[in-house]
Amino acid sequence: MNVGIIGSGTMGSGIAQVAATAGCQVKLYDTNQAALDKAKVALEKILNRLIEKGRIDAGEKARIQSNISYVDTLKDLSDSNLTIEAIIENLDIKKKVFSELESYVADDCIIASNTSSLSIASIAASLLKPERCIGIHFFNPAPLMKLVEVIPAIQTSKEVLDKSVQIISDWKKTVAVAKDTPGFIVNRVARPFYGEALRIYEEGIADFTTIDWSLKTIGGFRMGPFELMDFIGNDVNYTVTETVFTAFYFDSRYKPAFTQKRFAEAGYLGRKSGKGYYDYSENATKPSPIEDEVLAEKIFNRVLVMLINEAADALFLNIASAQDIDNAMTKGVNYPKGLLAWADEKGIDWCVSELDALYNEYHEDRYRCSPLLRKMNREHKTFF
């Protein structure tokens, strides 16, 4: 199969590696020659590391490399069966590229976008045959993260959806099909991990280290929310939150936090700037958490129940199936358990009473319990 990738940055080069490893003939296109050169050098390094780790041999490395060619005109992608676009997150630029691309490729070529925040419907509208357009959303780093969200727009044909799911499954990825709504699954459902942690900090309940310690020790998360925000970058993470908040017509559940805004404004971006919620300079010592199990349990429960509420509401609004929502969080962001399975384990009655307790305490709409949880509780149902 011939696959054209548009944009050879972080995501495009990773997606190219995935497709080439699966045996596809890949053409990686970028307007910037330096970006193409960088992608080629980066792939060489990655494959050498995989050889050192014993994951692949020299023959496999040569095979993967020979499956990728680096091209500098869009027309070179004309023989593609599938194209995946991973350029700058700008609707007008994407639309221009899509419309030009459509004039070169065959009628049955699937034209996909890796966008994180734009609607697939708006991108598809740039095509003469919008039914061939779909969202195929990889996670960073694409070769390592198992999850790919596949997002049909309202214009997408069933055939294009089925074919896309098949291709991505053949690439050995876990597919979660999501409705074309802000944040799709992961970037929507994960918001309380950051937002509720920031709120707990802002209320003075605990410091960054103690909140992180609680989520890791009691919850089994690999990274605490503040460590993760520092890893992602406070500028990037804040922008995603603000975009989702705006896209949901300012639903207070997604409201960004001033704390994070100030950190971003101050240039305390996290690891990449050497300072965020933590200090990453060479001799810095990490502050110790207050290892109070009762406090930690309270913090963990509050973040968890807000995550569960978000996952339940995504199911309630038919954003994805229960299984896809759980796969999305375990395979896209490495959560220790699927949130809906976690809800079953904790008990739906527990979820409802925790959420109602928060709502009664604050009388804020962000703590409203999903109607689905309430209905399930009445009917004594579980998610699985």
Ligand X SMILES: NC(=O)c1ccc[n+]([C@@H]2O[C@H](COP(=O)([O-])OP(=O)(O)OC[C@H]3O[C@@H](n4cnc5c(N)ncnc54)[C@H](O)[C@@H]3O)[C@@H](O)[C@H]2O)c1
The residue from 187, 214, 237, 309 that is catalytic is: 187
57-93 core/surface letters (b: 16 or more CB in 10 A; e: else):
eeeebeebeebbebbeebebbbebbbbbbbbeeeeee
The DSSP symbol for 302 reads H
Can 187 be counted among the known catalytic residues?
A: yes
Q: Which stretch binds ligand X (CB under 6 A): 49-57, 112-120, 202-210, 303-311?
A: 112-120
Q: Is 122 in the site for ligand X (CB under 6 A)?
A: no
Judged by CB under 6 A, the chain residues 10 through 29 that form the site for ligand X are 10-12
How far apart are the C-alpha atoms of 26 and 275, rounded to whole Å?
39
Q: Is 91 in the site for ligand X (CB under 6 A)?
A: no
Closer to ligand X by Cβ: residue 233 or 274: 233
Site string for ligand X, 50-89 (x = CB under 6 A): ------------------------------------xxxx
Can 363 be counted among the known catalytic residues?
A: no
Q: Least CB distance from residue 139 to ligand X, whole Å?
A: 6
Task: Write the single-letter amino acid at 303.
Answer: V
Count of residues that interact with ligand X, criterion CB under 6 A: 22
Binding ligand X (rule: CB under 6 A), the pick from 24, 97, 148, 340 is 97
Q: Which residues touch 246 (CB under 8 Å, ≥6 apart)?
A: none
Region for 318 from its dihedrals, namely left if φ exceeds 0, alpha if ψ lies in -120 to 50, beta otherwise: left
Residue 27 DSSP SS3: strand
The residue from 149, 196, 227, 310 that is catalytic is: 149
Q: Is 116 in the site for ligand X (CB under 6 A)?
A: yes
The residue from 113, 116, 234, 309 that is catalytic is: 116
Closer to ligand X by Cβ: residue 9 or 274: 9
Q: Is 143 in the site for ligand X (CB under 6 A)?
A: no
Q: Is 149 in the site for ligand X (CB under 6 A)?
A: no
Distances (CA, A) of 88 to 50, 100, 229, 238, 326: 29, 16, 22, 18, 29
Q: Is 32 in the site for ligand X (CB under 6 A)?
A: yes
Q: Is 241 in the site for ligand X (CB under 6 A)?
A: no
Distances (CA, A) of 73 to 246, 258, 314: 36, 44, 40
Can 149 be counted among the known catalytic residues?
A: yes
If you search the block for the tokens 């994407």, which residue do you land on?
94
* Residue nearest to ligand X as judged by C-beta position: 9
Can 281 be counted among the known catalytic residues?
A: no
Whether 234 and 264 have beta carbons less than 8 Å apart is answered as yes
How many Cβ atoms are within 10 Å of 6's Cβ, its own excluded? 26
The DSSP symbol for 134 reads E
Q: Least CB distance from residue 292 to ligand X, whole Å?
A: 35
**Interacting residue ranges for ligand X, rule: CB under 6 A:** 6-12, 30-32, 35, 86-89, 93, 97, 114-116, 138, 140
